[in-house]
Amino acid sequence: MARALALLSGGLDSILAAKLIKEQGIEVIGICFKSYFFNEDNAIRMVKQIDIPLEVVDFSKEHMKMVKSPKNGYGKNMNPCIDCHAMMMRYAGDLLEKFNGDFIITGEVLNQRPMSQNKSSLDKVLKESGISSKILRPLCAKLLPETEMEKSGLVNRDKLMDISGRNRKIQMELAKEWNIVDYPSPAGGCKLTEPNYSNRLRDLLEYNRNPEERELELLKFGRHFRLSPNCKIISTRTADEADNIKKNISEVDIVFLVKEFKGSMVCIVGNPNDEELEFAAKVAGRYSKGKDEECLKVMYGYYKKPFTKHLQVSKLEEKDLNKFMVK
């Protein structure tokens, strides 16, 4: 029996491509990539619905190197989709031997994304993957040149599709036909496609080209304020955000809480001076129930240690707050 490796993003298109090939009697193994900016959670859910195994590949470190300086640049935000897809293809090419696979399939749809899935971009991914003869895109195959797999009869081209554009009606109908009901929205998945996260990542990389994993994780939560190259403030918006931030800070980070009023947990990542400590205390006051008070007492100390210090701070004006916010 022929065997294909399906690159799964965790979205609907990639799982439909895998199912389309499985319907031809070809064995399919799912391959999902994990990095600092996306994970395997959705893919795990999706493969259960079409009953195929899943191999998770963690390429976080190499992916991060590429994200800092992608050969083909970024999309709308900090998403280097062309370079990312080509990197995944190269990894998958190495896995063909491990799994004794015959070819690779992806869920790409011609012209679904104006920059990364137009004809030129798809061709560029093929060229830079180094394994162009082994790649099949089942959902739009009939709009592309015939592959070796189709020419040899390994795959029946007549049973492939000719989907193009951003309308997802055909995919939704296929999902219903195959009883695929649990799938994420098209926008979900990669943090690099999100404007807020991308702005925070640009800010971080401007001052630190080799961030720790926890620093990248912290970008996902709270409000961020850049005070200096060595100092950033994070203010939580919800209890869940506070819980997630606590998982990624340590006893070298300083935390602020307003003494008499409930509100945001504020922390400083870096090495603050006295002025920056005072500003962080003001941020804590601004996002507390006492924000309209003329003067507030703010306690602070190293995380998981007693708060032995405090500052009396005045009300923080919105214009002063916005001056430092990373939006």
What is the distance, to the nearest Å, from the Cα of residue 59 to the centroid of all Cα atoms in its chain?
A: 13
Cβ contacts of 322 within 8 Å, gap of 6 or more = none
- The CA distances from residue 143 to 30, 137, 162, 234, 239, in Å, are 24, 10, 6, 48, 49
Q: 135-168: per-residue pLDDT in tens?
A: 999 999 999 999 999 999 999 999 999 999 888 8
Cβ contacts of 152 within 8 Å, gap of 6 or more = none
| pLDDT: which is higher, 53 or 115 | 53
Reported confidence tier of residue 306, pLDDT bands at 50, 70, 90? very high
Q: 238-266: per-residue pLDDT in tens?
A: 999 999 999 999 999 999 999 999 999 99
For all residues of the chain together, what is the average pLDDT?
A: 94
Cα separation, 71 vs 86, in Å, equals 11
What is the distance, to the nearest Å, from the Cα of residue 289 to the centroid of all Cα atoms in its chain?
A: 33
Please say if the pLDDT value at position 188 is more than 80: no
Q: Are strands 266-270 and 254-258 parallel, antiparallel or unpaired?
A: antiparallel
CA quadruple 108, 113, 118, 124: dihedral sign: negative
DSSP 110: B
Cα separation, 289 vs 296, in Å, equals 11
Residue identified by tokens 């749809």 is 109
Residue 6 is encoded by which pair of tokens? 């399906």
| pLDDT: which is higher, 150 or 131 | 150
Cα separation, 79 vs 83, in Å, equals 9
Please say if the pLDDT value at position 205 is more than 70: yes
Please say if the pLDDT value at position 115 is more than 70: no
Reported confidence tier of residue 62, pLDDT bands at 50, 70, 90? very high
Alpha helical stretches, state H, the chain: 12-22, 41-50, 60-68, 81-99, 119-129, 148-151, 169-177, 195-207, 213-218, 239-246, 274-286, 318-322
Q: What is the largest CA-CA distance in the chain?
A: 78
CA quadruple 79, 80, 85, 90: dihedral sign: negative
Please say if the pLDDT value at position 80 is more than 90: yes
Q: What is the dihedral of CA 244, 247, 249, 251, to 10 degrees?
A: 140
Interval 86-109 mean pLDDT:
95
Fold of 3-187: Rossmann fold (3.40.50)
Every domain of the chain and the residues it spans: 3-187, 194-322
| pLDDT: which is higher, 236 or 168 | 236
| Start-to-end Cα distance in the chain | 52
Reported confidence tier of residue 84, pLDDT bands at 50, 70, 90? very high
